[in-house]
Structure 1
Amino acid sequence: MMTMIDHDEPAASARGALFDFDLSPNGRTGAERRPRMRSRATGLAPLDAGCAPLLTSWLNDSDVYFPMGDVDPRPFTVEDGKRYVESHLKDTWAVVAEGPENVWTPVGYAGMFVRSRHRVGIFRIAIGNPAARGQGHGYRATRLMLKWAFDELDLHCVHLSVSAANTRAVALYKKVGFVECGRYRESRWEDGVRHDEIVMEVLRGSVRP
């Protein structure tokens, strides 16, 4: 389930604003998105309207929307992508990968939907570019998102949910430090088969080194 930012309190603590955008030409050129945070060849860069066509193509890919669980399989238009970007500028980053000549290009996206009163984040991530999967971008981007969540947003814990059939994702989250804290039994319908939906959490100070 996707949880949006609460607006009854500031979405971030005094330790850091959710985002401090610099969308000047110096921040990006063409399809490039330079990262604000990076780990080796993976980074997080501000999401902007220029990402909408890529986001649209990813959300039309069954390898992306089936694992998400809350995205219905329907045709997404570029206008849908633009609306998604506009509504998630404050909680979603572009996952970018470093290529030749130090050029960073988007390969996915990651969101942290904050329940500010409780200091809890709901995490999601998708590596949309098939060629970028299996290269560690999901792992490194997840660690960067948790660093941002705990060090900058001053959250106490981060939650996520994932299909039990998505064994690679479950293994990745456990490697980072997430632990299973519950299940919704047979709550995911994927390819004609029902699977459990696993609920996972990681507390401040519990991220594995």
Structure 2
Amino acid sequence: MAAAADTFLVGPNSSFRFDTDGNLSTAIDTAKIQVGQSILWRWVTGSHTITNGNGSLDPQAGILFDVPSTSAAPLFTFTFNSAGTFPFFCRPHESFGMKGVVVVSTPAGVPPVAGGNIAIGFTSGPAPNPSRSGVSFGFALREGGRVEAQVLDGQGRVIATVMDRDVEAGSHTEAWDGRTRTGARAPAGIYYLRLRLPGFAGTRRIALAR
């Protein structure tokens, strides 16, 4: 994997900031990259999340990524494959203004990628959410390849592997039964469904009730 084009430090100097310019007095830092490049978030202190969207009331919050940033999960990298402005925030410290922005542009003179309008990544779910047992979700691939889906707890630890196998191009559905790798029922709490496939890596939040 190519090196990240820019890095956000998460909670430097015990602050409620995503910092990319080395100046903690900047209210909301912005990173500017090009399509196909990646951003790295590096945890420093505290217990945070990295969640796309303008805030918890944003209906699009968490669709691209919604992951913990803690001592147990100190690094997160996301590759932006489309142009646009992508705000993000920390769920537990939203009221402190812990936010950032990634602006993604298309390099001049580069034509659009053929098939770029074909959906990849999550297409539905996880549902039901909240759930008292398990959840189902949908995803799609432009081309066949390896697909890995894992469930992480709030500390970023993998508690279950839903799938890890080669899948043909097209739309698919899969399900997590709400159990850990040992077969035990996962306790109530917040979990994260992480999906990785060719050209996509994203995370969805799951609220599990018992």
Same fold (TM > 0.5): no
Q: Between Structure 1 and Structure 2, whose CA radius of gyration is higher?
A: 2
The alignment's TM-score, normalised by the length of structure 1, stands at 0.28
Name whichever structure is richer in helix by fraction.
1
Name whichever structure is richer in strand by fraction.
2
